[in-house]
Structures are given as C-alpha cells and as structure tokens.
Structure 1
C-alpha cells in the first residue's frame, strides 16, 4: 500500500490508534476519566442561574453517566486500575455527592447514586471500609430521601435502597467494616441514655450513630422492591447484633423496637373496624347460591373482606408480621430479641390488639366479625413460637405456670435491657388500677363463647373459623382455656372394640336415614384419607400439653372433655338448628367440630362415643364355657375374659347416648317434616347433589355399597381390625391417597364450582324413583308445579330450649323457617359431616391403636 501511494502521488496517513487499544491502556483511561471529572467540577463551579439551570443539570447528568460507564469499564479492564485509585486518593465521590445534593434534581441524584453503586460494585480500593466514602454517601441519601426536600420517583428510590441493601450485605459478610457505618456516641454503662420519661418509654433516637439502619427501617413496610431491599437489609443488621456488643447495646437502648412495634400497630389500625364477610354476587360459591344466603350487608359502612382495598391492607399487615418473624429468626442477640418481644407485647398486643377485642360488639354489625377475622389471619401467619405463645397466653388469659412449653436456655440480660423492660412495663401501667383492662376480666374465650351463639351469622362464622385455626395449629393453648379439659387418670376405663363396632353401626344407620339415593363410598374414602392425614401428622409431631411435657406412656390419651364444657355445648346447640342455619355457618361449624374431635390428645367419651363408665351388657353376651377352657390357668382365664369383654357390644341405652349422636338424631327426625311437605324429596336431593358436583371430573364409582341401601353391608368396610385397620407399611402415603381419592371420587359438596343448569323434575321419575318413560322434551303436566315454586316453598321447623336434646321428646318454643332450596343444600352438608364423624371414629382407632381402644 505504501508503494502504490507513492506511485500515485498520494500522501500516507498513519493509522489512528484503535478504541480497543485505548481501553486497555490504563493511562488513556485515566486521562479520559480526569477530563470527564473536571467537566463535572467545572459545571459545579458555574454560578446558579434559573434560566440556565435546566441545561446545566442535563450536562451534569450526562457527565455523571459518563463517569459511571468509565468506572464499570475500568472494573472490567485488567489491572492496574488507575481511575479507581484516583477516585480513592482524590475523594472525587465527595464532589459528586455534594453536587447531587445541592442540585436537588432527581435525574442528577439518580446518576450520582449510580456512581456510588459502581464504586461499591468495583470491590477495589475498599470503598466500603473508607469513612469518608461512607459519610459522603449517607449525607447524600439522607438529604435526598430523609429530609423531604427532594421529591424522587420510585425508580430512583429503588436504586438508593439497592445501594443500602448492598452495604448491609457487605457488613454481614465483612463484620470488620461495621465501625465505619456505625459509631455509637453514648456509653450505656456510663451515661443515662434515657434522659427523660419519653426516652425511657420510646427509646433514644440516634440517627447520626447509624443512619443506614434508620433509612432501612423507615421503608420496611413499602411494597415492591423498595420494601424487599429494606426488609432484607435490616435483617442483616439485626444478624450483626450477635457479633458486636456495641451494636447490641445500641439497638436495645434505641427506638428501633418502638418503631417496629408502632409500625405494626399502624398497619393494623388501617384495617377496617367493621368488616363484612358476605361474598359478592360475582364470586358467590355455588353451595351458597343454592340457599337463602344474602349478599346484602345491613350496614353500608362495613368494608367487604373481598374488596381490593381490604385485601391490600391485609396483605401489607401480614407481610410486616412475617418480617417480624424473620427478624427473630436472623437476630443472634438474646437481649435484642427479648426487647422486641417486650415491645410487641406492650405496644401492639396490650395497647392495640386487646383493646380492639375488648371494644368489639356484635350489635354494631361487624366489629366482632373484624376482630375474629383478623385474629384468624394472624394465627394462620404466625409460626415463631415466642410470638405465638405470647399472643395466645395473653388473649386466652392463660396462667404462665399452667402451660409448660419447652424453652431455650436463658442467658443473663444486660443492665440496659433490664432497665429498658422495667421502664416499658412501668410506664405502660395505668395510674388508676380501676382503669386497667386485663384478659382476666374478659378474654378471647369469652368473646368466642358469646360469638358462637350469636344471632349474627357472620359473627358465628368468624368464631368457628378461629376455633378451627386454634385447634389445628396451636391446640396446646386451647386445653384448659378454650376447652375446659380434665386430666385423664390412669384408672379411667378405656373404650372397647365392641363399643366402637356398635358406634359405627349406629352412626351409619343415621346416615342411611338421610334422603337421597347416591352412593357415598367415594366421598367417604376421600374424607377418611383426609382425617388420617390429620391424625398421623399429630402423632408424628406431638405438641406439648397442659401441665408438662407429653406423657411417656402412650397407652392412654391425655384429656377428657367434661359433659358441661361451655364451648362444645354452645356448638352443639348451634348444631341442633342445622337445617335452618346459614350454609356458610354450617360449613364453619362442622369444620370446628371435626378439628376438635380429630385432636389426638382428647378422648371422645360422651361426645362422639359412648362413655366407658356407662357400659352395660346384657346377659345374652355371656357365652357357655368350652371344654378347652378347663385346661387354662388363672392368667389365661383372665386374659380370655378380658378379650371377651373387649369384643362384646355394650347396650345402647337412650340415657347414655353420645351428645352429638342425640343432636344429629334429632336433626334427622326433623327431616320427616320435609318428607311430609315434599313428596318427591329424594329426586330433588339427588338433583341438588348433582348440581354441587357439576364441573368436577368424576372417576369410576366405588364398589362400596351405599348406606342408604344396607347399613350392615356398609359397616363391613368400617369395622376396625384389632391390629389397626390402616396399615402404615403402605408404599403410598396418606397425603397421596387423600389426593387420589379426592380426584377420583369427589365429595358431593364442592365449594366454588359452577352449578349445573339441569335439575331432575318430579314428573320425570316414577313412584319408585326410576326414570319414567316420559321424554324430558315433553312439557310437564298442566297441574304440575314449577321447580322454582317447589324450591321456594317455606318449611317450618320446631326449635327447642334445651342444650342436650332429649331422645323421647322435645319442648317446642318457637319455629324456624327456611326454604326448601336452603334445606336441600344443608342436607348435603349434613350427609358429608356425618361421614366425617364415622371416619373419625374408624381412623382414630386404626392409627392410635391401643391408645384409643382396648382390644383385650
């Protein structure tokens, strides 16, 4: 090419150095960086002019973005990194931070934060261990998002919180850099940090000591990435308290615990005081649509639990509650954890949550509903043992010495922590003792007992849901408070296998008395698997019990429910009016009853099963002596006599029938009123069951005979084996079996499924229940009433004024009225509930074995 250029008379131009060569040249990179940085300094030195500010801010933002690119380019390039060294030695970041803070322009602030983020990500020159760097960055962020002088958008604030999160993560990994970002200005062992009464209660506010921590805690309740960065960063700070005594003392004496507790209380206060649990028409489940369910609340001010506003507030509150639990999981300081618990108890539990419970009422259309619903949501979210124990022990008015729970070994608390707790407790105590409201006077137990028998269906529904939640998740706190249980002594007789066989037969006969000709074998199989899964989970993870640790002797069950237990009597009274109750109340009621009866620590005596103390046998049960019995010794004769006594059926005396059996029997007898008023009840009920099953995939029908056909045949699958009817050695777990059963043979009661548009008409069936030869396309006879008229007819039921219904007769005092449409749905619910009771009897005997029954 040089020869051709000379030949043609051209001039030779030397090749310019490539951009790639400049990138790899440290001196060239440094020169470019200095030019850009000097441009920033030049813009900052110009006088302010309102007319030219916009142009200067745009130039400044462009130069800062150029610095970010150069820093990241320097980080990727091979050493030496002269640009980073120049920034560290000249403290160029101070100029960048001051320029952004003075400008009060969001675009400039965003670019300046990007410069700091690029320097931190470079992991060169140890910027995070530089006190000048930390001071400059905290001054910028504090002036931007803490002073309120600069309005920044979500993207800019997110970028700032991401930088703070990165710093917290570095402190977690490199504890030695903590003194750079945290410097305490007081010594608790020398000075009184609580200089006045307010500080003794709230704590000392010391933002200058640890601005990073305060910036994070002010944003832990935010949604999106801002809240995620703040919560995770603060978790790392609390984790660092276990490695720094100065930070531990500072957190205990500061107002961080107060800010966290007051933040939780503020989010709880956002929740509406009046709450409506009524489903809107658009999302009304089919099981409620086919009843007398009303979607109109009598009080317009009550907020719907299905509204977007309520769901957003509830989600925010529960997420912050979950953050509290994360803090306890990450905190390594016992003093800090106990200080947080003290503030949770005083500021949230005693001064906010309990007063809302105390002031709730069933007459203002929703405040009791709201409190009960919020407590249910809280207990479903809480998992940290200390928080759960503190909450339920206080609200249920449980004496501390009555509940023995395993606790971690305690360590001596620091003088600052002790003084903090004493100040908190003393200042939270009212000056007048008469003004003090304690759960000993009115507890959650009292609220539940009042709500279970409430005339407001929503209140009763919320109460039953809370009872179910406590029994399913925290049953050990219900013993002695919610349920007035008694210790089962070693001398208390056990139920027998013969009695179980009799009980199964009696309950199955009740199932057979219900109208309807559909097979329940598939539904029962799924329910039995669900019950078994619940019981096996309790056996494998046995909870602590009232009065001490679980008994080593597993041959007996710990507690007996006395016949005068107030909660069960109130639930039983509600069960008596089952046919006219609201369908959602019946669903919650049956769930609560099943959760109590499925508890493996409770005996079923007198409630679901016959009480062993009332067993009596007829003379016909005595068998003639066999010739081989004369060859037995005394021990063998005693064993044979005990075996015979265990397998013999006791007499089913009306005076000693289980309470639930007597109540359900009375409800089933009330169906005779419906039979008399509706001749074609069987066909209408079959149609209702088909409508509730609409939309589900029905698998092959079970070969199990229907209880409506032959109770004794249906009993064959219910008889427990002496060694336990359900084998634990199966290769398929109970949870998998339950899912398969639910998928292959769904229950007649499927919530939320669409209703079938078809319904079996009375004229389409013959007298024996079989389809008639008449075509479904032919119009009905002129004299036949329409299906709508039939379903809307009102049926009256007598009500009784007795807690325990009599088998022989009942005292009528009033009438309850419901439509046939409503009664049909409740009959389907009742059928499923009765199958659950049968499943509980059988599965408990199969899983618990000799803990439940005596076989010899």
Structure 2
C-alpha cells in the first residue's frame, strides 16, 4: 500500500511556485534595467564599422526602445524607484544623447527622445533642475533639427516639440528651474554698434542663452501638433518674463520680437497681391446664377480667393495673428509687451501693411480688392483691443492721444502708459534703435497715412466701376461698423455731437415713416411678396440692437447709471460716404447682385448703430415737421375733469402722437433714392406686362434654391472669401415680440446676420451654392399642368421665357438732387438683362422692409432715447 501511494503521489504534478514578484521587487527591476543599459554601453563603445553600421543602429534602436519601456514600467511600479535613481546617478541621458547625435539616425533619435520624455514625465530625481540633463537634451535637439544633417519625419519632430513643450510647461509651474535652461549673456550696449553698422536685423541673437526659446519660435507657424506645441510652449516662456527680470531684459534686447514681427510679415507677403473674389462656376450661388454675374476675371494673374492655395495661406496668416494676440495676453512683463507692440507697429504696420494699402490700385487686376479683403479678415479675427486700436489708429490716421469719438462705456479701452510701470532704459533704447533702422535715408521719401489712408481707399472703392473693388470696400465698412464702430466715427462717417436742444423725433412721425417705407416696399414687389418677410427681420435686428445696449448697474440709491449714448451723434448732411452709398443705391437695378447685397448690408450696419440718429438720411428731421390745423382732434368732455398734471401729460401725449405731413421736399435721402428707383421700376412694368408673374417665379426659385443647397455648406459670398465670417449671430430664441405691429407681416432677414450665418431666409438661403444652377430657360411662371407639360409647346405668337428674361432693359440717365449727391449729378445710361433686374427687385424690396424693421426695432428697444412718446 505504501508502494502504490508513493507511486501515485509521485505521479502527481507538483504545485507551482508563487508568481514572479519581479515587478514588485526594486532590486530585481534594477538588475534588469542595468543589464539592458550595459548592452547599450557595450554597443556604443564598439568601434564604428561602416559595413555593419545599419545593423548596429538597429540593435541600438531596439535597446533604447527597451529602456523606454522599462522606465515607463518603473514609474508605475511601487516605490522605491531604483531604476530612476540609477538613471540620475549614472547620467544615462548623456550616453543616450551622445549616441543619438553621433548615429544621425531618425529611429535612434526618436527612441532617445522617448527616454528623455520618460525621465521628464517621471517627475522624480528632479531631472529638469539638472544642468547636465538640460545640456544633453538641448545639444541633441539642436544638432538634430537645427543642423539639417538628419532628415526627421513628422512623428519624430512632433515628439521633439512635445518634449520642449513639457519643459516650458514645467518652467511655468516651477519658475526656480528657469536658471537651468536660461542663462543671460546679452549685452544691450552692443545694439548701438549694430545700429551704427546698419545690420540687417534689430536685436541681439543669443541662441546659446536660451536654445529652448529659439527652437519653439522657429516652429510657431507650423500646422498640426508641431505648431500647437511650439505656440503654447512659447506662450509659457513669455508668461515667465513677468517673474524673471533677467529673462525680461534678455527678451527686450534679443531679436525675438523682430523674429515674431518679420514672421507675421512673411506670412502676409505670401498672400497674393492680385486677388479675385469671383465665384467659380462649380460653386456659384443661385442668387448670382440668376443674374448677369460673370465668373471670368480679365487678368489671369489674379489668384482666386476660393483656391486651396489661397485658403491655406490665409488660414496660416490668421493663425499666426491669433498667436500674436495670445502672446500679448499671456505676457506678464509691460516692457516685453510694449516692445512687441513697437515691432508690430513699425515692422508690420508701417513697413508692410500700409505700403500695400498705399500701392493698391483699382486697375491692376485687383490689388485694392486684395488689401481690402485682407483687412476685413484681420478685423474679423482680431480680438485684442491694443492691437486693434494700434492698427486702426495708424491706418485711419487717428491721433494716438485720443480716439475719433468715444462711445459706450462698455467698449474696452486700451490702458494708457502712465498707468503702467515706467519703461526700462533697455526698452526705450530698443524702440529708438528700431525707429532708426527703419527710417528712410531721405526724409522726403517718408509717406504717412495723413496723406492717404484707409478712409480714402474705402471712399474711392465704394464708387469704383470695378464691382469686386466696391464689394470688398462695402464688406470692410460693414465689418468695421459691426465690430469696431467707434473707429468709424470721425473717419468713415463724418459725425457731429447732437445738440441737447435739438427737437426729438416723435412717435407720430415714426408712424408716418413706417407707412411711407411700407408703402414703398409694397409698390416695389406687391403686398403678397412682403408677407412672410418682416417678422424674422425684426427678431434678428432686435438681437443686433439689444447687443449694443449694455446692462445698467444700480447704485446705492437704487438708481441706474445710464452708460449708453443712444442718439448722441448725428450724421452730417454732407457726409461723403453717405453720398457715395446713396449714389451706388441709385444704380441698384444694374448693379451686380453681390454688390447690392453688400451695399444694403453696409447701410443697415450704419442704421443699426444706436449712437447715430436716423434724422436726415432715414427719418424725417424733427425741425421740419409740419402739422394740419386739426391735428389735435376734437375736445373730449372728460378732459374737463383732469387735474393740471394730467392735462399736461395728456397734452404732451397728443403732441407726440401728432402725425406730421409727409413733405417730399424734406424727405430722407434713402427714401428719395428708393422712390426714384420705384419710378424706374414703373417704366419696367410698362415695358414688361408679365413682370408680376416673373417676380413671383423668381421669389419661388430663390426659396427653392435654398432647399436644394447642402445644409452643412455655409454661404461663401457674403462671408469673407477667405474664412468663416465672425459676424455670425444666432437668432433670438424668444418666441414673443416686443415690437408693435402695424400690419399683418411675415418674415425676413438681416443681411448682417442671416447672409453670413446661413439662417433661413429667401435671400440668404439662395446664397448657398446650388448643386444644379438654374438657367433662364428653366424658369416657368405658369403653375398649370398644361404649361408644365413638355408635350405642349408655347403659342407661336408668345415669346419664350428665355427670350423675355434675356431682354435688355435700358435705364435712362437720371437727374439727382444736388443736396443728396456730390460730384456728377448726372448718371450715365445703364442697361442689364431682365433676368438680372428681377433678382435685384427682390433684394430691393427686402431692403425696404429692413429699413421698416430698423425704425420699429430701434424705437422699441431704445424707447425715449429714440422717439418721444409723451
């Protein structure tokens, strides 16, 4: 029995020993790590054999990858971390960095960078505070990606920039380690020598002082993760200038500000000098297809704003401009910030941007179009107040000590220098040397914006015969009014302070104005077309106007502080821009459709500015009100029982509610212009009897085109041709309306919002690219089945729809009042196809309805600041 027991027991499988505890044994981990690293040392100490070099480099790469894995495992293992302690004491990074530098192999370099990243991420042994570690890392990275001897791929360069970003982030969190990575040897007094010798740069280059900073700034313009790591890392460096006086002094005297400004200038110079904003045939919006719009540019050298090349260059430039804003926002040193602003103004604005504006022309294939389009994109992108004020002050020739006209207190103001610490001698000397370097040899060659500035360019371009130039100028005007209107006062618009004794507009006059404009809109395209076009307009305009009214803050005595100057300024009657807009409006039917859309948007952007009064140009002037003798109506019996205060209130209410007599002699400028257009339209109606049916068909086609367009593809014409417009405003979510309604009206649009944002509206919808462009021959205004049948041709005596739409409509030369238009009061004879005129008629009616909405919304939102109710 014992024998069988021993035999059976011997046949049983012995129990397995407990699982290996290598991961929890610090000494076992250290032994394994030393074995791998000793193999690295052995391989690095072998003599270099060219025939066996690829094999050796492959083995080295595998061993370094194994070291990375062991270091990552060590970080996750329980303490003590003996491998990290050994790595710090034996300085394995020096061996790794030297091996990767000598090997000049991308795979080995990538693995070596992985070791440095693993050591930094361990956050032990304080590697970032070790000067030897910093020298090894910077030597490796500098010789790899700065020398050009090693061609590295995107993945390797991304890994390198990620390590540099990590170091910059650690410096931000631990300012005490800055001295390890930065050592100032700059001598600001040497800059005087550089200036005297007329060197080609401004500032002292000291890459050895702070190689990390130069490695980052060389790659801030890159796309993807490389650029993201470089830009964010450099932001942290500039933020550290507020905590280190040595770094602050070094940055001011270095060439970093020059590199940033010249980089911005280089990206701007990449943009084409000749730009065409004509839509290509493949993406032509339906509203333009239903007109005489031409997609052919007269000069082939002009680059299309819709090309992939231009979009890429524009996106890169605007991205770098946004980086400038981030740097100024994160910089904590007043001297560094002011030095950057000096370089932005002198090297970019004065040396590059203004000369491009000065040299622009309306006759050389679109250089004016290019400059105006680029300025619009910059204004849509800029958010930093100091940059905006510096750019517009210079280009508009506004004196630095004051703004053109201050407006609402809610507008952010640029801090003046006296509130900041005094500038250091180095910063002052840097600015002086910068001005000296950029000064022309002959003072007579200096050109300043006082002679020709952005105002002159816009005024000349609005009246240009080139439709693209006019469109670009109108877009810039709309963008300035919507985003930076305080700079438009006194420059684009000649405004004057409203007198406190000036009589206010009354609610009775408002009712008359609404009726006149509404009647005009009905005459243009009929009452049925106006239905469904007004309610949406009022909602959008209310949002725009309410956004300009700041919240009122209650004081201790429960009173509110009024911080808005609604109606504080009035537009001068001889304003050149107003007359240019009116002259352009006078030729509405023969204007290009895109120009008309930009024109009406510009006019509405000025009309919705709450600081401007509407007298003279949109509304009646209160001093010209005339009333009928029985304007007060009969006396009521109950009025005899009113007290004195009640009688005064009732009298004031009656006076405010009196409806003045509409006099053509004192009619507003816009109304007079629209009335002249309506008279021209009467001539078209007499020539084309079926114009009512054609207009109805055109309205339906514009609405149908919006339904066919892809919803994810925003309209490109009314937004910037280079990027998505920043004027996109969401519609109001409120379901009720505070606007008093005078008639049964429907819905419409606000071109400043709907066209840019693609909100549902007849015109804005039609701006989306239509997948199948409608030809004039496709238009059929008869809805009967027999008329739609292809088997039933039209009567022989009836001309085809195509022939009717292609008919040329000629508009005779028109006389204009000398009070409303400057210059030549005689307009040349104009002509356009009926197909083109129909689309412009639809736009014109909606513009008239928009003016009605502006009058109503301003009165509802601003209340007594706009019109007197009692």
User: Against the structure 1 CA distance between its residues 774 and 595, is the aligned structure 2 distance closer, same or farther, given a 3 Å change threshold?
Assistant: closer
Q: What aligned pairs does 1:768-783 form with structure 2 within 5 A after superposition?
A: 776=789, 778-783=792-797
Q: What aligned pairs does 1:353-502 form with structure 2 within 5 A after superposition?
A: 353-403=353-403, 406-408=413-415, 409-502=419-512
- Identify the residue that residue 69 of structure 1 maps to in structure 2: 69
- Identify the residue that residue 768 of structure 2 maps to in structure 1: 752
In 2, distance between residues paired with 1:169 and 1:745? 46
In 1, distance between residues paired with 2:21 and 2:402? 79
1:629 and 1:637 in contact (8 A); partners too: yes
Q: Residue deviations 1:261-295, cap 9 Å, x none? A: 11000000000000000000111000000000000
- Identify the residue that residue 318 of structure 1 maps to in structure 2: 318
- Identify the residue that residue 651 of structure 1 maps to in structure 2: 661
Q: Residue deviations 1:660-713, cap 9 Å, x none? A: 000011111111221122111011111110000015569xxxxxxxxxxxxxxx
- Identify the residue that residue 196 of structure 1 maps to in structure 2: 194
What runs of 5+ residues in structure 1 fail to find an aligned partner? 543-549, 699-722, 727-733
Q: TM-score, normalised by structure 1?
A: 0.88
SS of 2:525 mapped into structure 1: coil
Q: What aligned pairs does 1:242-257 form with structure 2 within 5 A after superposition?
A: 242-257=242-257
Cα offset, 1:813, TM superposition: 5.5
Root-mean-square deviation over aligned CA pairs: 3.2
User: Against the structure 1 CA distance between its residues 774 and 301, is the aligned structure 2 distance closer, same or farther, given a 3 Å change threshold?
Assistant: closer
User: Against the structure 1 CA distance between its residues 60 and 811, is the aligned structure 2 distance closer, same or farther, given a 3 Å change threshold?
Assistant: closer
SS of 1:621 mapped into structure 2: coil
Cα offset, 1:848, TM superposition: 0.4
1:683 and 1:761 in contact (8 A); partners too: no
1:797 and 1:815 in contact (8 A); partners too: yes
SS of 1:265 mapped into structure 2: helix
User: Against the structure 1 CA distance between its residues 84 and 762, is the aligned structure 2 distance closer, same or farther, given a 3 Å change threshold?
Assistant: closer
1:688 and 1:759 in contact (8 A); partners too: no
2:694 and 2:781 in contact (8 A); partners too: no
Cα offset, 1:620, TM superposition: 3.2
1:43 and 1:60 in contact (8 A); partners too: yes
User: Against the structure 1 CA distance between its residues 363 and 775, is the aligned structure 2 distance closer, same or farther, given a 3 Å change threshold?
Assistant: closer
Q: Residue deviations 1:739-759, cap 9 Å, x none? A: 9xx999733552216479699
- Identify the residue that residue 619 of structure 1 maps to in structure 2: 629
- Identify the residue that residue 800 of structure 1 maps to in structure 2: 814
- Identify the residue that residue 790 of structure 1 maps to in structure 2: 804
Q: What aligned pairs does 1:205-220 form with structure 2 within 5 A after superposition?
A: 205-220=205-220
In 1, distance between residues paired with 2:617 and 2:5? 111
In 2, distance between residues paired with 1:45 and 1:67? 18
- Identify the residue that residue 145 of structure 1 maps to in structure 2: 145
Cα offset, 1:401, TM superposition: 3.3
Q: What aligned pairs does 1:162-241 form with structure 2 within 5 A after superposition?
A: 162-186=162-186, 194-197=192-195, 202-241=202-241
Q: What aligned pairs does 1:542-581 form with structure 2 within 5 A after superposition?
A: 552=562, 557-581=567-591
In 1, distance between residues paired with 2:441 and 2:71? 62
SS of 1:599 mapped into structure 2: coil
Q: What aligned pairs does 1:44-193 form with structure 2 within 5 A after superposition?
A: 44-186=44-186
Q: Residue deviations 1:153-195, cap 9 Å, x none? A: 111000000000111111111111111111112465xx55654
In 1, distance between residues paired with 2:656 and 2:502? 15
In 1, distance between residues paired with 2:313 and 2:233? 23
- Identify the residue that residue 302 of structure 1 maps to in structure 2: 302
- Identify the residue that residue 642 of structure 1 maps to in structure 2: 652
Cα offset, 1:86, TM superposition: 1.0
Point out the more displaced range, 210-219 or 36-45: 36-45
User: Against the structure 1 CA distance between its residues 588 and 124, is the aligned structure 2 distance closer, same or farther, given a 3 Å change threshold?
Assistant: same
Cα offset, 1:400, TM superposition: 2.4
Q: Residue 850 in 1 paired to residue 847 in 2? A: no
SS of 2:547 mapped into structure 1: helix
2:276 and 2:305 in contact (8 A); partners too: yes
SS of 1:796 mapped into structure 2: strand
2:492 and 2:577 in contact (8 A); partners too: yes
Cα offset, 1:845, TM superposition: 0.4
- Identify the residue that residue 710 of structure 1 maps to in structure 2: none
Point out the more displaced range, 99-108 or 30-39: 30-39
Cα offset, 1:16, TM superposition: 9.6
Cα offset, 1:464, TM superposition: 0.3
In 2, distance between residues paired with 1:613 and 1:353? 45
User: Against the structure 1 CA distance between its residues 269 and 756, is the aligned structure 2 distance closer, same or farther, given a 3 Å change threshold?
Assistant: closer
- Identify the residue that residue 702 of structure 1 maps to in structure 2: none
In 2, distance between residues paired with 1:407 and 1:347? 21
Cα offset, 1:631, TM superposition: 6.2
Q: Residue deviations 1:67-93, cap 9 Å, x none? A: 111111211111221111111111111
Point out the more displaced range, 403-412 or 750-759: 750-759
In 2, distance between residues paired with 1:531 and 1:54? 71
User: Against the structure 1 CA distance between its residues 758 and 613, is the aligned structure 2 distance closer, same or farther, given a 3 Å change threshold?
Assistant: same
1:522 and 1:747 in contact (8 A); partners too: no
1:555 and 1:850 in contact (8 A); partners too: no
User: Against the structure 1 CA distance between its residues 811 and 76, is the aligned structure 2 distance closer, same or farther, given a 3 Å change threshold?
Assistant: closer
Cα offset, 1:622, TM superposition: 4.6
Q: Which of 684, 696, 702 is residue 694 of structure 2 equivalent to?
A: 684
Cα offset, 1:440, TM superposition: 0.5
In 2, distance between residues paired with 1:42 and 1:80? 27
Cα offset, 1:431, TM superposition: 3.4
Q: Residue deviations 1:195-251, cap 9 Å, x none? A: 421579611111111111110000000001100100111111111111111111111
User: Against the structure 1 CA distance between its residues 759 and 279, is the aligned structure 2 distance closer, same or farther, given a 3 Å change threshold?
Assistant: closer
In 2, distance between residues paired with 1:461 and 1:564? 23
Point out the more displaced range, 499-508 or 233-242: 233-242
1:643 and 1:855 in contact (8 A); partners too: yes
User: Against the structure 1 CA distance between its residues 306 and 228, is the aligned structure 2 distance closer, same or farther, given a 3 Å change threshold?
Assistant: same
SS of 1:817 mapped into structure 2: strand
1:799 and 1:813 in contact (8 A); partners too: yes
In 2, distance between residues paired with 1:102 and 1:149? 11
Q: Which of 491, 515, 529 is residue 525 of structure 2 equivalent to?
A: 515
Cα offset, 1:760, TM superposition: 11
- Identify the residue that residue 339 of structure 2 maps to in structure 1: 339
User: Against the structure 1 CA distance between its residues 138 and 773, is the aligned structure 2 distance closer, same or farther, given a 3 Å change threshold?
Assistant: closer
- Identify the residue that residue 39 of structure 2 maps to in structure 1: 39
- Identify the residue that residue 822 of structure 1 maps to in structure 2: 836
2:811 and 2:831 in contact (8 A); partners too: yes
SS of 1:800 mapped into structure 2: coil
SS of 1:799 mapped into structure 2: coil
In 1, distance between residues paired with 2:111 and 2:858? 67
1:697 and 1:743 in contact (8 A); partners too: no
User: Against the structure 1 CA distance between its residues 553 and 639, is the aligned structure 2 distance closer, same or farther, given a 3 Å change threshold?
Assistant: farther
SS of 1:814 mapped into structure 2: coil
SS of 2:500 mapped into structure 1: coil
Q: Residue deviations 1:106-160, cap 9 Å, x none? A: 1111111111111111112111111110110000000001111111111100000
User: Against the structure 1 CA distance between its residues 19 and 387, is the aligned structure 2 distance closer, same or farther, given a 3 Å change threshold?
Assistant: farther
User: Against the structure 1 CA distance between its residues 786 and 192, is the aligned structure 2 distance closer, same or farther, given a 3 Å change threshold?
Assistant: same
Q: Which of 665, 676, 680 is residue 666 of structure 1 equivalent to?
A: 676
- Identify the residue that residue 586 of structure 1 maps to in structure 2: 596
Cα offset, 1:815, TM superposition: 1.5
Point out the more displaced range, 833-842 or 424-433: 424-433
Cα offset, 1:771, TM superposition: 6.1
Q: TM-score, normalised by structure 2?
A: 0.87
Point out the more displaced range, 787-796 or 300-309: 787-796
